[in-house]
Amino acid sequence: MNLLHLHLNLHLFVTMAFRSMSRVVARMPASRTVAVPRRCLNIHEYQSAALMSEKGVNVPFGLPASTVEEAVAAANTIGDEEIVIKSQILAGGRGLGTFTNGLQGGVHVIKTSEVEEYASKMLGGTLVTIQSGAEGKPVNQLLMAKKMNLINEMYFAILLDRESGGPLVIACSEGGTSIEVLAERSPEKIIKEPINIAVGMTDENASNIVDGLQCTTDKAKAMDQVKALYRLFIDADCTMVEVNPLAEDDQGVLMAADAKIGFDDNAAFRQQAIFEMKDESQEDPREVNAAKFDLNYIGLDGNIGCMVNGAGLAMATMDVVNLHGGKPANFLDVGGACTVETVTEAFKIITSDTNVKAIVVNIFGGIVRCDTVAEGIIGACKATNLSLPLVVRLEGTNVAKGRELLEGSGLAITTADSLDDAAMKAVAAIQ
């Protein structure tokens, strides 16, 4: 996955880290849905469609709406007897989703006269889909789109591929439903076309993709559309461009009838206009708050909070906690700046999860000294009035002084000599 441009090495590291985390999570007995790790910016369909249009990709005409009145006005502007009303959330499977108020489906083809009724039920509601998690996502905006007569629906995506070291196009002659379903039902129809990042998409690449899509329209025009999607992928520093469905209408026009795009967070300085589109209402509030303090946080489904410095150390910590019978409640990386402020915020975020019953701190003092870390932990414990069992394992520069500070603090802090020792002590504390 995450390899592109100057960020090749960083994204390879992050991808390996998150894949390792996924393996850890997969071994955990989950009583409820685990939060989905999210590294890169995603934007809504209507925003994606606007970006695609700028690059020459054909998209259906549509207008966003954040109120019922705006939805009605948009439908009247389109002026057709029927219209497509689409919930805007950052999760796939909207069409087959269910609102918590009982409304079935996040995408409907309705009469223009029904817009007020449907918009009232959808706006402000929570839509649960196969990709949203059991808690669902809030619907704060709708896309009012012109109904198209689509006669051939396909699947198209460009991802970052670890094995090929660059962009990978995944295409299927069937589309309109979840790629997970397509992969299970018709795996032989899915093609993969790696793109040489140094060369770009060639005519041969585009031809292979169009052949795999089994387009019935003009092949040269279809290749132009595929190239336009790749141009968006490169120019906008994307990590993913997914079009489902990529479809032909009754006039033979190939268009992106739906879109989901992700962007490289490391390219924010180059893509300021795009990153201003970020919708924090679609994210875990804890992740949003963590980012404000340059902390990396991902909520999981366990009861032992984990605070570390470094993604690799986070993987090891969660793995060992799981090995000794515990269930990690989070991934929280404080990086190299362990100050009283950052550690305090980290504790606040971890303890905001009521399922957390103990905390493991596993810090290697390299960039930051262990005695500085210890001072930060002591200050954070006092600032938050921490009452949960806290096990701290320090290693590295000034480790002896760091342990001395912790043990002489007068606080209920348990020190550990190793990661195994820390994990066992944390598990024992909640049994």
Which among 174, 193, 242, 375 is annotated as catalytic? 242
Q: What is the pLDDT of residue 39?
A: 52
Q: What is the pLDDT of residue 28?
A: 39
Residue 242: active-site member: yes
Give yes or no for a contact between 241 and 170, defined as CB atoms under 8 angstroms apart. no
Q: What is the pLDDT of residue 318?
A: 95
What does the alpha-carbon distance between residue 402 and residue 365 come to, in Å, rounded to a whole number? 10
Domain boundaries, the chain: 61-147, 150-275, 285-429
- Measuring CA to CA, how many Å separate 145 from each of 69, 92, 197? 16, 18, 34
Q: What is the pLDDT of residue 30?
A: 37
List per-residue pLDDT tens for the chain, 431 residues long: 333 333 333 333 333 333 333 333 333 333 333 333 445 788 999 999 999 999 999 999 999 999 999 999 999 999 999 999 999 999 888 989 999 999 999 999 999 999 999 999 999 999 999 888 888 999 999 999 999 999 999 999 999 999 999 999 999 998 877 777 778 888 888 999 999 999 999 999 999 999 999 999 899 999 999 999 999 999 999 999 999 899 999 999 999 998 889 899 899 999 999 999 988 788 777 887 788 878 889 889 899 999 999 888 999 999 999 999 999 999 899 877 667 788 888 999 999 999 999 999 999 988 788 998 899 899 999 989 999 999 999 999 999 999 999 999 999 999 999 999 999 999 999 98
Q: What is the pLDDT of residue 280?
A: 79
Residue 155: active-site member: yes
Indicate the fold that domain 285-429 takes in CATH.
Answer: Rossmann fold (3.40.50)
Q: What is the pLDDT of residue 135?
A: 87
Q: What is the pLDDT of residue 274?
A: 94
**Quick one: 184 exposed, middle or buried, by C-beta within 10 A (0-12, 13-18, 19+)?**
exposed
The radius of gyration of the chain's CA atoms, rounded to the nearest angstrom, is 24
Give yes or no for a contact between 365 and 406, defined as CB atoms under 8 angstroms apart. no
Which among 46, 155, 230, 297 is annotated as catalytic? 155
Give yes or no for a contact between 83 and 112, defined as CB atoms under 8 angstroms apart. yes
Residues 61-147: name the CATH superfamily. Answer: ATP-grasp fold, A domain (3.30.1490.20)
Residue 135's region, left for phi above 0, alpha for psi from -120 to 50, else beta, is alpha
Residues in the chain: 431
Give yes or no for a contact between 231 and 55, defined as CB atoms under 8 angstroms apart. yes
Indicate the fold that domain 150-275 takes in CATH.
Answer: D-amino Acid Aminotransferase; Chain A, domain 1 (3.30.470)
What does the alpha-carbon distance between residue 18 and residue 7 come to, in Å, rounded to a whole number? 16
Do 61-147 and 285-429 have matching folds? no
pTM attached to this predicted model: 0.67
Give yes or no for a contact between 383 and 344, defined as CB atoms under 8 angstroms apart. yes
Q: What is the pLDDT of residue 374?
A: 92
123 in helix, strand or coil? coil
- Look up residue 327 and give its amino acid: K
